[in-house]
DNA sequence: GTCTATAATTTGATAGAC
DNA sequence: GTCTATCAAATTATAGAC
């Protein structure tokens, strides 16, 4: 399926009603995500973040208590924003799980394709880099990101696999889930390797489609009960 | 830039029969890899690195010209050290490539298992974290790491795939290589997700074996010509 | 070659005006 | 709430003794 519009989701920091122009706190978070994603927690500077937002550095202290608070606010923002978009896409599957292996396979392939497109989309580069950095040294921020984004995907795929490959035990299923979803995850987490292996400077639209098509094929192979 | 940086790399050559006491430059590199891996380039402090080595910070300036020079020396050290070990393991395959699909599949499964074990091994955690960080913002260091470590693996698998799946075209093969090797790579690059999905605090020995076994099974499925 | 001492920046936090 | 001004600490780089 094609990428969903992801400009629509907009949260406000403290349950405020929506604003036409994002509040300062929200603008700070968005600028911070960019900086944290590109330079890491230590590399990012609160001064630069404030400057990019067009405000003073002390605003960060006022709104978030400090650099760490801003960082966690970024994780929450990402988890909520992406989680909301993706949960909507998975809701039908979780509400009415397919009963037939063939249907489960089809649903999983679509879900996987959606997730892979998310991994490849340039628009998601910023927050996905943010998440990728958290993989190495998981902090409290990772918990929020995992439960908001990764866990729904992994658990949904796990549930579908129960239908598609009923003969596997739970451990085998979890391993297989990691193999399948991992093929999509690597498009982001190992992006530098992917682009070099595909011999392109950047993962353009055409290369992305090639990768998606190949991913579907591979996933299909893994979803079919071939061996006893 | 630092002309003395040569010295640090030269010490690491494997021609030496014994290592009575590693030179200061080498000890600095080893301590630096640890710090860079754990805290990133900006997060790591040259003072801490020097302190861990038991020397003064100015030694870094003397031997490597500065922080950046030390960082690149770390990349070279990792690329050389790991590249040498792994190139040895792959040399037989590249020297006498299997001619039969069945042999190629078997060789690739073994190679993949070796690589996956590398991704899971606690001993390789430090340098693999170093590499993982480079995936997000590839710098000059990534080039050296890619050509020293990743490229040999990917190209060898690509060659084996030419035998095992002869009907695929080059692009299809490269995509499939990324899918297969990606399943192993994700064990490191997405380690935090893996351990949570497998419901363990840390990827212990038993979990690692389970993942390896599952990986072999999945790879085998992807290596068999099932669909026309 | 390795050390001590210091310079020159940069950073996150804070105080206080408005 | 947002700003200006300043502080205290940490960092890299550098100079120079031995």
CA dist B37 and B137 (Å) reads 14
Average pLDDT, chain A: 89
Residues A9-30 have a mean pLDDT of: 62
Nearest to B90 by CA among B39, B41, B160, B16: B160
Position B39 in a domain:
no
Position A30 in a domain:
no
A68-88 tens-digit pLDDT: 999 999 999 999 998 888 888
Position B67 in a domain:
no
**Residue B96, domain CATH:** 1.10.357.10
Position A108 in a domain:
yes
Residue B18's pLDDT is: 44
CA dist A23 and A219 (Å) reads 43
Position A197 in a domain:
yes
Average pLDDT, chain B: 90
Does the C-beta of A57 come within 7 A of strand D? Answer: yes
Closest residue to B192, CB basis, from A43, A134, A213: A134
- Residues on chain B touching A226 (C-beta within 8 angstroms): 221, 224, 226
Position A52 in a domain:
no
State how far residue B190 is from chain A, nearest Cα, in angstroms.
6
Q: Which residue has the higher pLDDT, A112 or A224?
A: A112
Position B86 in a domain:
yes
- Tokens for B92, please give them: 């037989």
Rounded-to-5 percentages of helix, strand, coil across chain A: 75, 0, 25
CA dist A124 and A131 (Å) reads 11
pTM: 0.90
Closest residue to B192, CB basis, from A41, A138, A172: A138
DSSP chain B: --TTHHHHHHHT-TT-S--SS--HHHHHHHHHHHHHHHHHHHHS-HHHHHHHHTS-THHHHHHHSSHHHHHHHHHHHHHHHHHHHHHHHHHHHHHS---SHHHHHHHHHHHHHHHHHHHH-GGGHHHHHHHHHHHHS--HHHHHHIIIIIHHHHHHHHHHHHHHSTTS-HHHHHHHHHHHHHHHHHHHHTHHHHHHHTT-SS--HHHHHHHHHHHHHHHHHHHS----
Q: How far is the CA of B2 from the C1' of D15 (A)?
A: 18
Position B44 in a domain:
no
Does the C-beta of B61 come within 7 A of strand D? Answer: yes
The nucleotide whose C1' lies nearest the CA of A65 is C13
Query: Quick check: B40 and A38 CB within 8 A?
Result: no
Q: In the predicted model, is pLDDT for residue A226 greater than 80?
A: no
Q: What percent of chain A has pLDDT over 70?
A: 89
Report how many domains make up chain A. Answer: 1
- Give the structural domain span for A184: 2-16+74-223
Report the chain A residue with the minimal C-alpha distance to residue B214. A175
CA dist A94 and A154 (Å) reads 12
**In Å, what is the CA distance from B204 to each residue of B109, B193, B221?**
22, 15, 26
CA dist A22 and A146 (Å) reads 26
> Are the C-beta atoms of residues B49 and B35 closer than 8 Å to each other?
yes
């Amino acid at each position: 399926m094609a990428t969903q519009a992801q400009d629509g989701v907009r949260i406000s920091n403290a349950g405020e009603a929506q604003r036409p122009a994002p509040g300062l706190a929200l603008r700070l978070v968005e600028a911070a995500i960019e900086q944290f994603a590109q330079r890491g927690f230590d590399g990012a500077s609160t001064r630069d973040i404030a400057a990019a937002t067009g405000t003073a550095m002390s605003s960060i202290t006022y709104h978030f208590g400090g650099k760490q608070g801003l960082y966690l606010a970024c994780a929450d923002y990402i988890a909520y924003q992406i989680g909301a978009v993706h949960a909507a896409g998975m809701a039908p599957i979780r509400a009415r799980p397919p009963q037939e292996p063939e249907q489960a396979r089809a649903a999983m392939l679509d879900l996987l394709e959606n997730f892979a497109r998310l991994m490849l989309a340039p628009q998601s580069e910023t927050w996905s880099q943010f998440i990728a950095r958290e993989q190495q040294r998981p902090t409290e921020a990772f918990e929020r990101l995992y439960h908001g984004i990764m866990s729904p995907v992994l658990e949904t795929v796990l549930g579908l696999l129960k239908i598609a490959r009923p003969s596997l035990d739970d451990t085998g299923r979890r391993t297989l889930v990691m193999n399948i979803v991992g093929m999509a995850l690597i498009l982001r987490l190992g992006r530098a390797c992917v682009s070099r292996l595909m011999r392109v400077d950047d993962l353009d639209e055409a290369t992305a489609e090639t990768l998606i098509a190949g991913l579907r094929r591979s996933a299909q192979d893994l979803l079919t009960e071939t061996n006893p």
